[in-house]
Structure 1
Amino acid sequence: MAKLPASITPPDFYGIVEKGIYRSNILHPTNFSFLKTLSLKTVIVLSPEPPTRALSTLFDEAGIKVIHLGVQAWKPTLGWRPVSEELIKEGLEIILDVSYHPALIMCTSGLHETGILVGCLRKLQGWNFNSIVTEYRSFAGTKSRYVNEQFIELFDLDLVTLPMSLPQWFIRQQQLLREEEEELQNSLPQPDSHDSPRLLYLGGVPSRAASGPTTPRLFVKNAAGRKADKPKKSKTVEDSD
């Protein structure tokens, strides 16, 4: 792999999330030359702190739109949550809109707010939670926080309204997930029409993660769809005595 010239230095926690989406910590003057190579259209700042004057000037000169969600969605009382749900909801709706691409997700450390937003994107993509945590910790390392992982796990994806102009990679992933679900449903045994008890699959919704489908739960039902009753013990003369 060819080395970059000494004058072009990526940020410490720079990474490619998906085509047209990048992530990093706050940029320093040594990173400015590298930033220009990305031909960014949008920068999403997740930290409450505004970009430095030098960085703001660079964005203005390059014609890069800055969306400072860290201020817009910040709340003084978040309880146990490390960030607000509004911040993550709005961030996801922006980065999934191709009209903002190429886009850079940025926070002060490049680990916490950014890591949560990327983790929730992975959850929306159907990643296995273990894979999400692995990616988060690969950036955060010893600075990883359990509360961030907990937020990702509990984040309600129904809050997110998908934009009309979705990126092709996201559309393809959703198609693959639907095909996977259809294949699993078609592989399930069809119920017979006999009155004898039969096995009914419940909860066999395929996992949207890379690890495969969840294990179906089984219980016995009769052909009429009612749960089969346990045989009652017949009452004898001895029992009545």
Structure 2
Amino acid sequence: MGNFNLATDQPYVAGPKSVKSERDDQNALQSLEVTSRRSSLSKIASWESQTCAKRLMLGRPMSTAMTPPVNFSMVSEGLYRSGYPQVQDYPFMQNLKLKTIVTLVKKELPDGYLEFIETNRITHKIFDMSGTKKMEIPIGMMRSIHAVVSRPENYPLLIHCNHGKHRTGCVVGVLRKANQWSLKRIIDEYTSFAEPKVRETDIKYLSEFKLASLLCQPRDVVSLSTLSTTNRFYRLVVAAVLIFLAMSSLGKLRVPESFPEPS
């Protein structure tokens, strides 16, 4: 039913609007839509920000775009390597469900790193390792690192230094050696991360590293030359025992690796 003019009781017919009036109405409508859309987006962004913060505090994965730390890679199942994680990397790391982080450099922690570690109940092992450019990794320190990495109960585990190249590369190289990788493959992997700054000192360290040095301190090795010549039999017995222990212990040096090596 049509509209009526109450004064004349006649059907009401709207007069033509001016072009300017129609344009003003359209502009007002568009402005209202833009304002409404901005308000909605602002509310959504605020909600997502609060939700992400809550998830981070509760130790739950965040559903935002995630980036891994520099030079991040999987060494074996549950064992990872990288450069020093930064705040933008925490959401990615959270999805790894880490139990242990092995840091190969001692320095002031980046913003939020301690909170991230504590919130996610991660065991943090810090080794004050000097750069490998001028000195080798002390064997005692390598033993301690290996003792942590060789325990499956510490997995998932991340090893990192500053850039994930030299210190981390040497440690991973020793772990590869314990898993009976060929020297060529070990050096190739080290080089792929260290380029363009491959260090000959690191190559030499990995080439000459002896797995037996992970077993015992040098002072624990019996010097057979100090035994009396009248005890030659006992010297042979001691030597046989040491060889047996060394051979049987080498099998325990392998780092858990549940998938086959790439060809």
Q: TM-score scaled to structure 1, two decimals?
A: 0.61
**Helix, strand or coil at the partner of 2:173:** helix
The Cα of 1:6 is off from its aligned counterpart by 6.2
Partners of 2:169 and 2:133 lie apart in 1 by 19
1:229 is matched with which residue?
Answer: none
Higher strand proportion (structure 1 or 2): 1
2:118 is matched with which residue?
Answer: 60
Does residue 7 of the first structure (1) align with residue 58 of the second (2)? no
What aligned pairs does 1:133-212 form with structure 2 within 5 A after superposition?
133-161=187-215, 169=257
2:29 is matched with which residue?
Answer: none
Amino acid at match of 1:169: E
CA contact (8 A) 1:97 1:165 kept: no
Which stretch of the first structure deviates more once superposed, 152-161 or 12-21? 152-161
CA contact (8 A) 1:97 1:164 kept: no
Does residue 36 of the first structure (1) align with residue 94 of the second (2)? yes
Amino acid at match of 1:15: S
Does residue 125 of the first structure (1) align with residue 179 of the second (2)? yes
Segments of 5+ residues of structure 1 without an aligned counterpart are 174-209, 212-241
**Helix, strand or coil at the partner of 1:169:** coil
Q: Can you list the C-alpha shifts for 1:67-92, whole angstroms capped at 9, x where unaligned?
A: 0022xxx479x995342222222212
Partners of 2:187 and 2:253 lie apart in 1 by 28
Amino acid at match of 2:95: T
CA gap 1:113/1:167 in 2 versus in 1, 3 angstroms: closer
Segments of 5+ residues of structure 2 without an aligned counterpart are 1-62, 216-248
**Percent identical residues:** 24
Which stretch of the first structure deviates more once superposed, 147-156 or 37-46? 147-156
The Cα of 1:167 is off from its aligned counterpart by 6.0
CA contact (8 A) 1:85 1:155 kept: no
Partners of 1:82 and 1:95 lie apart in 2 by 19
CA contact (8 A) 1:93 1:160 kept: no
Q: Can you list the C-alpha shifts for 1:186-234, whole angstroms capped at 9, x where unaligned?
A: xxxxxxxxxxxxxxxxxxxxxxxx99xxxxxxxxxxxxxxxxxxxxxxx
CA contact (8 A) 2:83 2:160 kept: yes
Amino acid at match of 1:68: I
CA contact (8 A) 1:39 1:102 kept: yes
Partners of 1:37 and 1:146 lie apart in 2 by 36
CA contact (8 A) 2:87 2:110 kept: no
Partners of 1:38 and 1:89 lie apart in 2 by 26
1:200 is matched with which residue?
Answer: none
CA contact (8 A) 1:43 1:103 kept: yes
CA gap 1:147/1:123 in 2 versus in 1, 3 angstroms: same
